[in-house]
Amino acid sequence: MSPRNVAIICVLAFLASLPAAAEPSNTAGLSIPNTNSAINSATPLSQRVVHYEIEARYDPRTHSLDASETLTYHNLTGQPLDSFPFHLYLNGFQPTSTWVREGKREGTRGQDFEKWDPKSYGSDEIKSFEVVGQGDLTSQLRYIQPDDDNKDDKTVVQVNLPKAIPRDGYVQFRIKFHDQFPKTLERTGWDREALLAGQWFPKVGVWWHGAWNCHQFHAYTEFFADFGVYDVKITVPKYETVGASGVELSNVENPDGTKTVAYHGDDIHDFAWTASPHYREFHDVFQGSMGPVEIRFLMQPAHLGQLERHKYVTQETMRRFDQWYGPYPYKTLTVVDPEPESESFGMEYPTFITAGTGWFMPKGFLSPEEVVEHEFGHQYWYGMVATNEFEDAWMDEGINQYTEAKILDSIYGRATSFVNLWGITAGEDETDHFFYSVAGDLDPMTRNGWQFANSESYGTITYGKTAVVLLTLESIIGEDTMRQAMHTYFLRHRFTHPTKEDFLKTIEEVSGKDLRWYFNQAVYGTPVLDYQVYKVSSVPVEWYKEKLEEKKGVTEYVNSVWIQRKEDFVMPVEVQIKFDNGEKVREHWDGQDRWIRYEYRKKAKVESVEIDPDHKILLDRNEFNNSYMPEEKHAATHKLMNYYAFLSQLCAQFLSWWLV
């Protein structure tokens, strides 16, 4: 029996238990679905606060859908609740929204608005809003703006209930809504005949730390939601191939030329789906420590030659995550290769990720692999360890960037894990370091996502700096301890909403070290780390003698080496001094002072000095001044000059070829 069949049988076996599990209970007149047992495990993996039941009908001609949503909310906040905020993310795609305003000012992908294109318009319009037992409250809905004073922003709506929901009580919302999808800007929308529907339904905020946490949609922040159960039925024209979060329960053709596909997902906190007539569907199975996982690839026709690359990196990534950090408990994973040039590429949703490639993608350019690895990594750092992406973006994107470097380095080699093409290379570590070195000191990692100085700082700090900070942390506590700490953090905080201190304290606990000196500078602060070899000199001891003849191995020198801490970040470093007789000396400097001088009296001159000779401290912003050779070596410069001269000569010849 093939692994795929085993996976299918396992999934079906779980599904067989669903009717019993789905039997509703009745609490205070509400029909409360029983979601205690489900597909992924015998008992719930998360505290299931929400249960969404959505029936949506999509019209590809107008790129819009009409849907009805029943949200059952379990009040586990420990206090009565009389108001509820809801995200209406699609309203961000309107010219006066905060998302567009910030995008116009600081645009990232899909936000380079020169002029407003009507195709960019999107909306999530609530047609009716009923609270079961309390009546129709549509007229009571009020848009609120918790983060800024933009009264035109309609991405958060709030309702105040006539009657509060008691502790441990349930409330049920019945919402009818109409979505207009934009031509894909960032993450969601339509391209040609395809749709990628993310953040498409009214989603309740998270009660967190004694208050509602329901931020507006910002230009470069992501999302935050409670765990729960999703039962979603999507009706589309029958020629569409549909993929979604969770497990497909049924796929029924309707008499009107449509089909309805039903999905169930549990212990997840979001639900995304896609539909396109162009997808080519392929399957694979990953044998994880919690049983088989069926992987479904929805590929573009022109990318079929890259299917094996996608399969390989998915398998290898899942295997390493399973071994290093913990099991992937879900039964499915859908990998979507979105429409070419679409801004929906490279995005994560629970059990559903979008990849990103083009028809021409040489094997040595590992961009598709990087995207797949990164988005799968989010199944852990976002999907299961569900941090607040608005406020602690570094905890999902940054930690994920770190594990991306570890995993891709492990699969493709440290120096070649991003590019390995025609002699040109780039590794994930170096790429992260470069990313960080561009503008890594404007904001601390812990800044609220929407409050970064600009989008460049957000990207640089959240992704690049976090990865570099954690890679450097390995030099302090050791690579194995760091992996153990990540493993512990995952197992301890999966299916919860951990804070930054939960993460940092776990590392301290596992390593047994007080790392506040490091976290205060690297995580909470903005100091820059930059050490340099300030000066090197080798002076003959008998310099004063006239007609002194220096002879290698005979003449004695006083060798002096100065190391300087140029910036504010204090960190102990190793220094290696190499002499021209082959001897090497290692020094350890605590870095507390601004500089230190080492002196050696030897019958040899200093050949080179290197700070951090094991290349563990990636946080040092300038790696070029970490070493010094008293004797100049021109080869690298000449190599670059030769490349440049070649290009320049070629350019000159082309110019003359066509113009003379």
Considering only residues 340, 364, 527, 540, which one is a binding residue for other proteins as defined by CB under 8 A?
Answer: 340
CB-nearer residue toward other proteins: 191 or 508: 191
Rg (Cα) of the chain, in Å, rounded?
A: 29
The answer to whether residues 45 and 145 touch, using CB atoms and an 8 Å cutoff, is: no
Segment interacting with other proteins (CB under 8 A) among 356-364, 450-458, 471-479, 487-495: 356-364
- Within 10 Å of residue 316's Cβ, how many Cβ atoms? 18
Q: Taking CB under 8 A as the rule, does residue 649 contact other proteins?
A: yes
Tell which residue, 306, 299, 486, 314, has the closest CA to residue 411.
Answer: 314
> Two tokens at 66?
């009409």
Which amino acid, one-letter code, is at 62? Answer: T
Find the binding residues for other proteins in span 427-456 (CB under 8 A). 427, 430-431, 433-434, 437-438
Q: Does 413 bind other proteins (CB under 8 A)?
A: no
Q: Is 76 near other proteins (CB under 8 A)?
A: no
Residue among 333 and 467 whose Cβ is closer to other proteins: 467
537 makes contact with other proteins (CB under 8 A): no
Q: Residue 177: which residues within 8 A CB-CB, separation 6 or more? A: 66, 67, 68, 69, 124, 125, 126, 127, 201, 202
DSSP 8-state code for residue 184? P
Instruction: Tell me how far, at minimum, the Cβ of 264 lies from other proteins, in Å.
Output: 31
Q: Which of 447, 502, 440 is nearest to 465 (CA)?
A: 440
* Contact call for residues 294 and 8 (beta carbons, < 8 A): yes
Closest to 368 (Cα-Cα) out of 377, 358, 357, 360: 357
User: Tokens 């009409």 sit at which residue?
Assistant: 66
Q: How far is the CB of 231 from other proteins (least distance, A)?
A: 32
Span near other proteins by CB under 8 A; candidates 42-50, 103-111, 159-167, 646-654: 646-654
The residue from 422, 549, 553, 601 that contacts other proteins (CB under 8 A) is: 422
**Among 167, 192, 586, 594, which residue interacts with other proteins (rule: CB under 8 A)?**
192
Token pair 């208050």: residue: 211
Whether the CB-CB separation of 66 and 233 falls below 8 Å is answered with no
- Confirm or reject binding of residue 237 to other proteins (CB under 8 A): no
CB 164 within 8 A of CB 95: no
Torsions phi, psi of 98, nearest 5? Answer: -65, -40
Binding of other proteins at residue 239 (CB under 8 A)?
A: no
659 binds other proteins (CB under 8 A): yes
Give CA–CA dist 252/260, Å, rounded: 5
Q: Tell me: does residue 528 bind other proteins (CB under 8 A).
A: no
Q: Given the complex with other proteins, which of 9 and 655 has the nearer CB atom?
A: 655
Q: 398: which DSSP letter?
A: I
Chain Cα centroid distance, residue 44: 26
> Distance between CA 525 and CA 619 in Å, rounded?
13
**Interaction between residue 544 and other proteins (CB under 8 A):** no
Q: Measured from the CB of residue 505, what is the shortest distance to other proteins in angstroms?
A: 33
Choice between 497 and 621, CB closer to other proteins: 621
Judged by beta carbon, residue 111 or residue 437, the one nearer other proteins is 437
Question: Is 117 one of the binding residues for other proteins (CB under 8 A)?
Answer: no
Cβ closer to other proteins: 359 or 517? 359
Query: To the nearest whole angstrom, how small is the minimum distance from the Cβ of residue 534 to other proteins?
Result: 12
Q: Is 643 exposed, middle or buried (0-12, 13-18, 19+ CB in 10 A)?
A: exposed
Beta-sheet strands, E only, within 446-566: 531-540, 557-565
With binding defined as CB under 8 A, does residue 424 bind other proteins?
yes
Cα–Cα distance, 385 to 496 (Å, whole number): 6
Among residues 22, 426, 515, 558, which is the contact residue for other proteins, using CB under 8 A? 426
Q: Does 559 bind other proteins (CB under 8 A)?
A: no
Label residue 302 exposed, middle or buried (CB < 10 Å: 0-12, 13-18, 19+).
middle
According to CB under 8 A, which residues from 574 to 633 bind other proteins? 608, 610, 622-630, 632-633
370 touches other proteins (CB under 8 A): no
Judged by CB under 8 A, does residue 636 bind other proteins? Answer: yes
Could you say which of 245, 300, 354, 475 contacts other proteins (CB under 8 A)? 300
> Of residues 265-284, which lie at the interface with other proteins (CB under 8 A)?
278
Q: How many CB atoms lie within 10 A of CB 82?
A: 11
- Asked if residue 652 binds other proteins (CB under 8 A), the reply is yes
Nearer to other proteins, 129 or 435 (CB): 435
* CB of residue 429 to other proteins, shortest distance in Å: 8
Spatial CA neighbour of 126 closest among 74, 87, 100, 171: 87
List 210, 423, 512, 582, residue binding other proteins (CB under 8 A): 423
Is 28 one of the binding residues for other proteins (CB under 8 A)? no
Among 133, 166, 301, 572, binds other proteins (CB under 8 A): 301
Structure-token pair, residue 17: 């238990």
Q: Can you tell me which residue has the tokens 């191939």?
A: 241
The pair of three-digit structure tokens given for residue 360, joined into one six-digit string: 């021409």
Using the rule CB under 8 A, which residue among 112, 253, 341, 593 binds other proteins?
A: 341
174 exposed, middle or buried (CB, 10 Å; 0-12, 13-18, 19+)? Answer: middle
For other proteins, the closer CB: 3 or 340: 340
Size of the site for other proteins (CB under 8 A): 66
What residues between 34 and 73 interact with other proteins by CB under 8 A? none
Residues 335, 589: Cα–Cα separation, whole Å:
48
Residues at the site binding other proteins, with contacts judged by CB under 8 A? 192-193, 278, 300-303, 340-341, 358-360, 415, 418-419, 422-427, 430-431, 433-434, 437-438, 608, 610, 622-630, 632-653, 655-660
